[in-house]
Amino acid sequence: MTYTVVQWATGAVGKTCLRAVLDHPGLELAGLYVYSGRKAGQDAGTIARYPETGIIATRDIDEILALDADVVIHTARLQLPYEQHDQDLCALLRSGKNVITTAGHHYPAAHGPARLAMFDEAGRVGGATLYGTGMNPGYVLERLVLGLTGVCTDVQRIEVTELLNAATMPDPDFVFTVMGMGSAPARLDLRAGPLAVLFGKLYAEAITFVADRMHVPLEEIQPDHTVRAAERDLEVSAGRIPAGTVAATEWRWHAISAGRRFLTLSVIWTMDPELDGYAGRNHWTVDIEGRPDLHLSLDMSDPPGTGLRTKAGQYVTAGAVINAIPAVVAAPPGVFTPPVFAPFARP
């Protein structure tokens, strides 16, 4: 069976998905939506640095809505507010296209029944399904961690840590203004501000999904974010980070159940992977305290010699999208809840 695919946005992840679609014998590109005026009118192959495809990029949403396609791969940039993409996603669903997005929407139910009902209703109208995925959020907690709990006879506590070396991030505006790197530690409050709201909503979905699947009543998600200062002057891709200014942000949430921390998720971005306590650590670590205790450590490497700038983190995100297509297309209309086989669950 061949699935027809529209690619929506061609940033780092979008281009990786686009190439994966063009490479895949079971997928056929049917359309391409871009935000950039420079890319509009270009052949999809040119944007992907592949041979021409005959599919021309458009900025006209109505052109995309009018297409006949099985699925839209939506890899738009997360925007403020978090709900910024709702209108486009609902329009795509109502037009009869299944949507797999990497821009949030991993578990809309985490934000209450009204938000879930909105996407379910759009899906019902178009007979289409919405699925938000990626590596984290999307895979690490929702599939790896939940899967691991399935070999425990008891789970008391889960700790998941992501450690991302952000020193190669090229965009100074994102690194210094959005992430707050290079600012005075006392002046960067990770509990307030736009990024805190965005991240809080995004990761609450993954955390709530885990708690719901394990039948763990979630009382509260407590933010516990901190920053680390540079121990030396740093030269990174985006510019200079003087010693004493922010070199790492540690985003951390504790899921509270029965008055104690049941799950802790840390997402650490560092401009200095050698900072005390970071060196030698893998990209993700999972520690499950229970019967038995389990420890998982996962890393990834950039594939050599592709001639592309695509990083391992973009491949894993695209992989989670591409491999979900048959299940999402086959799923009933509404928000897709990915299957989890036999996690540990409280009775």
Ligand X SMILES: NC(=O)c1ccc[n+]([C@@H]2O[C@H](COP(=O)([O-])OP(=O)(O)OC[C@H]3O[C@@H](n4cnc5c(N)ncnc54)[C@H](OP(=O)(O)O)[C@@H]3O)[C@@H](O)[C@H]2O)c1
In angstroms, give the least distance from the CB of 289 to ligand X.
Answer: 25
In angstroms, give the least distance from the CB of 37 to ligand X.
Answer: 8
Q: Which is nearer to ligand X, 35 or 278 (CB)?
A: 35
Per-residue contact track with ligand X, 94 to 113, x per CB under 6 A?
A: --------xx----------
Kindly state whether residue 7 participates in binding ligand X, applying the rule CB under 6 A. no
In angstroms, give the least distance from the CB of 32 to ligand X.
Answer: 8
Binders of ligand X among 10-29, rule CB under 6 A?
Answer: 10-14
Kindly state whether residue 9 participates in binding ligand X, applying the rule CB under 6 A. yes
Q: Which is nearer to ligand X, 143 or 225 (CB)?
A: 143
Closest residue to ligand X, judged by C-beta, is: 11
In angstroms, give the least distance from the CB of 144 to ligand X.
Answer: 12
In angstroms, give the least distance from the CB of 51 to ligand X.
Answer: 19
Kindly state whether residue 76 participates in binding ligand X, applying the rule CB under 6 A. yes
Number of residues that bind ligand X (CB under 6 A): 23
Give the 3-state DSSP-derived string for the chain, with helices as H, strands as E and coil as C: CCEEEEEECCCHHHHHHHHHHHHCCCEEEEEEECCCCCCCCCEHHHHHCCCCCCCEEECCHHHHHHCCCCEEEECCCCCCCHHHHHHHHHHHHHCCCEEEECCCCCCHHHHCHHHHHHHHHHHHHHCCEEEECCCCCCCHHHHHHHHHHCCCCEEEEEEEEEEEECCCCCCHHHHHHHCCCCCCHHHCCCCCCHHHHHHHHHHHHHHHHHHHHCCCCCCEEEECCEEEECCCCEEECCEEECCCCEEEEEEEEEEEECCEEEEEEEEEEECCCCCCCCCCCCCEEEEEEEECCEEEEECCCCCCCCCCCCCHHHHHHHHHHHCCHHHHHHCCCEECCCCCCCCCCCC
As given in the structure block, the two tokens for residue 44 are 């999809």
Q: Which is nearer to ligand X, 193 or 277 (CB)?
A: 193
Kindly state whether residue 35 participates in binding ligand X, applying the rule CB under 6 A. yes
Kindly state whether residue 264 participates in binding ligand X, applying the rule CB under 6 A. no
Kindly state whether residue 138 participates in binding ligand X, applying the rule CB under 6 A. yes
Candidate ranges 3-11, 112-120, 192-200, 293-301; the one touching ligand X (CB under 6 A) = 3-11
Considering only 22, 128, 135, 331, the residue that binds ligand X (CB under 6 A) is: 135
Binders of ligand X among 77-96, rule CB under 6 A?
Answer: 77-79
In angstroms, give the least distance from the CB of 11 to ligand X.
Answer: 2
195: alpha, beta or left, given left = phi > 0 and alpha = psi -120 to 50? alpha
Residues in the site for ligand X, rule: CB under 6 A?
9-14, 34-36, 39, 75-79, 102-103, 134-138, 317
